[in-house]
């Protein structure tokens, strides 16, 4: 959704700036475009901003940095007919897509193979592998919690995620309960299913 909105905005801004260029230098036009797109959501790749995740890095670089090239091949049809430029954003950008302004994910921690994010609307921790695929979802604040405590939830989640990444199952389950992220009944159920010691 953000990607399509960004593309439409970029197409319009680039067209307006170059059509009204008259005697302006390209460097001034590009500076004006950068100023106008400053509030668009993006993700950082190699210290450059990617505004359209369903395009590859090179096409995004043309949009953001070398927009004078839009009038040249192969970019001339990008505004109306861009099917040939489409790419799978998850394959292209992997976990970076989740760690961007395109989502509401909050990065918690990472290990060599995965990154953990929290989503406030879903009350869940998402474990995303480096290729951008979902490995696991850990739902918090179950229905048995009459008054769930959402205060400082990110701080309370961090040790839990660290235990998850380090494979410390007992600690992980204990921290779910100790840090008030699940109810006692869910904690007991998990313990009995995993045959763990009760704390």
Dihedral of CA 16/89/104/95: which sign? negative
Residue that has been written with the tokens 């839990």 in this structure: 160
Longest dimension (CA), the chain: 77
Separation of alpha carbons 98 and 53, rounded Å: 11
Residue 94 DSSP class: G
| Closest C-alpha to 60, from 69, 51, 68 | 51
84-116 pLDDT per residue, tens: 889 999 889 988 889 888 889 999 999 999 999
Separation of alpha carbons 38 and 61, rounded Å: 15
Residue that has been written with the tokens 């394959």 in this structure: 91
Q: What are phi and psi of 98, to 5 degrees?
A: -75, -25
22-80 pLDDT per residue, tens: 677 888 888 999 999 999 999 988 888 999 999 999 999 999 998 888 888 888 888 88
pTM, 2 dp = 0.79
Q: How many residues does the chain have?
A: 199
């Amino acid at each position: 959704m953000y990607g399509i909105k960004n593309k439409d905005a970029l197409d319009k801004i680039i067209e307006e700036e170059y059509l009204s260029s008259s005697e302006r230098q390209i460097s001034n036009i590009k500076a004006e475009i950068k100023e106008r797109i400053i509030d668009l959501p993006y993700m950082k790749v190699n210290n450059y901003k990617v505004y359209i995740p369903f395009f590859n890095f090179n096409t995004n670089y043309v949009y953001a940095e070398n927009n004078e090239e839009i009038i040249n091949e192969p970019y001339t049809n990008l505004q109306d007919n861009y099917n040939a430029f489409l790419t799978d954003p998850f394959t292209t950008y992997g976990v970076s897509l989740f760690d961007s302004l395109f989502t509401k994910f909050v990065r918690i921690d990472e290990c060599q193979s995965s990154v953990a994010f929290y989503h406030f609307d879903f009350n869940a921790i998402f474990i995303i592998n480096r290729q951008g695929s979902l490995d696991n979802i850990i739902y918090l604040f179950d229905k048995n919690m009459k008054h769930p405590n959402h205060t400082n939830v990110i701080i309370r989640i961090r040790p839990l995620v660290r235990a998850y990444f380090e494979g410390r199952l007992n600690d992980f389950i204990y921290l779910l309960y100790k840090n008030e992220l699940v109810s006692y009944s869910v904690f007991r159920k998990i313990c009995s299913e995993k045959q763990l010691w009760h704390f």
